[in-house]
Structure 1
Amino acid sequence: MPEIQYRENPVDEDVKRKFESKGSSKFFDPCQDAAERSLKCLRRNLGDRDMCVDYFQAYRDCKKRWIDERKSDRWKKAMGTLGIAPSEESAGAGNAEK
C-alpha cells in the first residue's frame, strides 16, 4: 500500500512565517490537513481504526517533523542570544575552517 502524504510541509518557510506571525493566543497546526483526513477516514469506515492506520501514521510523521523543527529553531535562537553561532557541522570540521 502506498504511503499517504500530507499536503503541507510542516517545515516549509511559508508555514514557519505563518506560525511566527500568528498572535500568541492563536492556535496553529501545520498538520491540520492530515488530522482532518484521518477523521474523515474514521467516519467513512464507521470508526474502524484498522482501516485508517496509514492516515494516523501520516499525521504522526507530520507532527514529529514539526515538533523536531520547532525544537531545532528554538535551540538555534537560544544559541544566537548567547552569541554562539550554531553549526550543523561537526566540531572538527568547524575548526578546520579557522
Structure 2
Amino acid sequence: MRRRVTAAPCPWRALTGDGDPARLRRRTGPTQGGAADHATGAPVDSHAITEPNWPSLYGVAPDGAVLVRPDGHVAWRSRTSSTDPVTDLQTALITSAGR
C-alpha cells in the first residue's frame, strides 16, 4: 500500500534589515502581533536579515521589507520603511494569496 506524504505548509517570510522584524506583524492597541496571519490564515515568519548585501540583492533600502512566498519567490517589496507596515504587509499577503 502506498502512503501519500504531505509536508507541512511552509510559511510566508517577511524579511527586513532594520533589526525589528516584529514591526511587520505588530499592531498597536488591543490586537497584538500576527495581524497579517489572522487576515489571511497564512502563517508568516518575520526575520531580521543581518547580511550587509541583502538590500542590493532584494532591491530595497536597509530599512525596507520583502515578502517571500512559500515557494521562495518574492511576492512584494517595500523599498523603504513604511508608516503602517502591518497594513502594507496584510494587503500584500491578501493580494499575493489571492484572497
Normalised-by-shorter TM-score class: under 0.3
Higher RCO (CA < 8 A, seq sep 6+) = 2
Higher share of residues assigned strand: 2
Give the structure with the larger helix fraction.
Answer: 1
TM-score (norm 2): 0.25
TM-score normalised to structure 1 length:
0.25
